[in-house]
């Protein structure tokens, strides 16, 4: 292992998926995984195999298609978890098991109800179970930030002796600050025997807005793997954001002197894809991938940038993939051009039938919108896949009207298990009327927690992408829909959310 390589471990599909409503289907995970591979991440944590049968199968599918990145499953330090993870990653060219156990007094006493001795013993045992499946075993000490230093040294020493190859030090609760976190990494590397035989890793949460800063401090302290997610998606306030870590290391090479395997021009396309699949929009002022990240509003800045770009820009927009949303297809593009562009985007439709359906939608869209961008194709395929997956509710017909001075009204025809039903309703606006009409038929009892519209590309003929977050009985789902008509997109999103609510798949959500 060259010492100047920084391993990028992406956990969008595992920790990122733990954001409320961000649960992904197998197909969605495979699409994101293919894009992550194109982006050049070293390790893809594809899920938590013991969480549910669905997640197990999703990890397996990712393991089957991914060739250059390592595919990893999370596992608690229990025999069942580790064996499930081992089975799930079996098809992978390079597979990793990531096992963890809590090491802080508060977690050991209250959650695990285990003594420190038992925790060490179990950690070692978990590593040994994992080694039956792969020699690439990672061990994490959950809540390391609140763990006793001497105890951490003892646990890490034991798991390294047992054969763990990567040692991850997570700030599970987002409590650390950079100076402390960097020092902790340095001390661990100095004190743990054989620390030079393993890769040191960090995993930081953003509860105090310092996930990226803490991760970078750990890197300066000697960590050579960072666990992060696209757009900083993740449990609560999220994880360290991959794009910020990668661009910081690259832009400040004078400080870090490290290389990553990331093709930075794939950053923005990856961000868009993850945002559209999970229903988590990116804030405009988000570093690197926000819509304003490279916009210069002030006249003085604009003047400076026009004269000499480096006056105000430390990175180039095109280096992270902005402006790469080139016009790809138009009205006259044929089925082959459509198919090959999808292939270039890493989208492989499983059957001719799906391809035909997607192509018909593409032609429809091209009638309404003269220029079709890559983002449109992603949205279109998402839509197609969602419709395919939604056995329960489907949109058949929608008529919504709004006129100043009149009460907005909607009539909807939808099919429920193949049976068509029609309803109408008034509302505060056409979207409200549409949702009320749907509820007249469904009577779901779900609560609408969030409604947002984003345009997929620029221009008034762009497709609107709508996200709705529904909650019912403690379950939260995000529904999405895209269309050039935002009322239709809203109806699709609402039905997609209802379909997710009706397809019950409970899963356990461990925190690392
Ligand atoms: Zn985490």
pLDDT at 227: 98
pLDDT at 1: 47
Q: How far apart are CA 236 and CA 20, in angstroms?
A: 8
For residue 358, the CA-to-ligand 1 centroid distance in Å is: 36
For residue 61, the CA-to-ligand 1 centroid distance in Å is: 23
Collapsing DSSP states into helix, strand and coil, what is residue 371?
coil
Interval 58-86: pLDDT, tens: 999 999 999 999 999 999 999 999 999 99
Q: How far apart are CA 39 and CA 413, in angstroms?
A: 42
DSSP 459-494: STTSPEEEEEEEEETTEEEEEEEEESSHHHHHHHHH
pLDDT at 508: 53
Q: How far apart are CA 69 and CA 463, in angstroms?
A: 33
SS3 content of the chain, % helix, strand, coil (to 5): 45, 20, 35
pLDDT at 311: 65
Record the pTM.
Answer: 0.83
**Which residues is 467 bridged to in the sheet?**
452, 480
For residue 49, the CA-to-ligand 1 centroid distance in Å is: 16
pLDDT at 337: 83
Domains in the chain, CATH or no CATH each: 7-278 (3.20.20.70), 294-324 (no CATH), 327-387 (no CATH), 390-503 (3.30.160.270)
For residue 235, the CA-to-ligand 1 centroid distance in Å is: 7
pLDDT at 3: 77
For residue 214, the CA-to-ligand 1 centroid distance in Å is: 14
CB of 461 closer than 8 Å to CB of 369: yes
For residue 104, the CA-to-ligand 1 centroid distance in Å is: 15
Mark the ranges of the chain whose per-residue pLDDT is less than 50. 1, 506
In angstroms, the Cα distances linking 70 to 62, 259, 436, 488, 505 are: 10, 18, 47, 40, 27
For residue 139, the CA-to-ligand 1 centroid distance in Å is: 14
CB of 204 closer than 8 Å to CB of 171: yes
């Amino acid at each position: 292992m060259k010492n100047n390589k920084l391993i990028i471990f992406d956990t969008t599909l595992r920790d990122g998926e733990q954001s409320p409503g961000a649960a992904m289907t197998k197909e969605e995970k495979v699409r994101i995984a293919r894009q992550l591979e194109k982006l050049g991440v070293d390790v893809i944590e594809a899920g938590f195999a013991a969480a549910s049968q669905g997640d197990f199968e999703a990890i397996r599918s990712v393991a089957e298609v991914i060739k250059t990145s390592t595919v990893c499953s999370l596992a608690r330090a229990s025999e069942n978890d580790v064996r499930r993870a081992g089975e799930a990653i079996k098809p992978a060219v390079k597979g990793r098991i990531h096992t963890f156990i809590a090491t802080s007094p508060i977690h050991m006493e209250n959650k695990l109800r285990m003594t420190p001795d038992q925790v060490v013993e179990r950690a070692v045992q978990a590593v040994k179970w994992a080694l039956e499946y792969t020699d690439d075993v990672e061990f994490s000490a959950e809540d390391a930030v609140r763990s006793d230093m001497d105890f951490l040294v003892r646990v890490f020493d034991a798991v390294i002796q047992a054969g763990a190859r990567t040692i991850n030090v997570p700030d599970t609760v987002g409590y650390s600050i950079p100076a402390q976190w960097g020092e902790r990494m340095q001390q661990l590397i100095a004190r743990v025997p054989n620390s030079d035989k393993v890769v040191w890793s960090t995993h930081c949460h953003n509860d105090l807005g310092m996930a990226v800063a803490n991760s970078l401090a750990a890197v300066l302290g000697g960590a050579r793997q960072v666990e992060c997610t696209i757009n900083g998606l993740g449990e609560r306030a999220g994880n360290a954001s991959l794009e910020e870590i990668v661009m910081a290391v690259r832009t400040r090479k004078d400080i870090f002197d490290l290389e990553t395997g990331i093709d930075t021009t794939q950053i923005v396309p990856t961000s868009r894809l993850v945002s559209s699949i999970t229903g988590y929009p990116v804030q405009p002022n988000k570093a690197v991938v926000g819509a304003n990240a490279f916009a210069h509003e002030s006249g003085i800045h604009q003047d400076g940038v026009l004269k000499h770009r480096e006056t105000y820009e430390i990175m180039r927009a095109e280096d992270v993939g902005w402006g790469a949303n080139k016009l790809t297809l138009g009205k006259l593009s044929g089925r082959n051009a459509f198919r090959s562009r999808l292939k270039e985007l890493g989208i492989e439709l499983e059957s001719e039938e799906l391809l035909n359906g997607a192509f018909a939608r593409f032609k429809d869209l091209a009638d309404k919108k003269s220029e079709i961008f890559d983002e449109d194709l992603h949205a279109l395929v998402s839509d197609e896949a969602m419709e395919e997956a939604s056995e329960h509710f489907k949109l058949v017909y929608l008529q919504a009207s709004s006129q100043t001075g009149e009460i907005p009204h909607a009539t909807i025809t939808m099919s429920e298990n193949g049976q068509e039903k029609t309803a109408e309703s008034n509302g505060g606006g056409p979207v409200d009327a549409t949702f009320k009409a749907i509820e007249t038929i469904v009577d779901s009892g779900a609560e609408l927690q969030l409604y947002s519209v984003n345009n997929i590309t620029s221009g008034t003929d762009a497709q609107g992408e709508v996200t709705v977050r529904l909650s019912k009985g403690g379950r939260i789902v995000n529904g999405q829909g895209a269309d050039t008509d935002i009322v239709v997109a809203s109806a699709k999103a609402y039905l997609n959310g209802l379909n997710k609510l009706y397809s019950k798949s409970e899963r356990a959500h461990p925190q690392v």
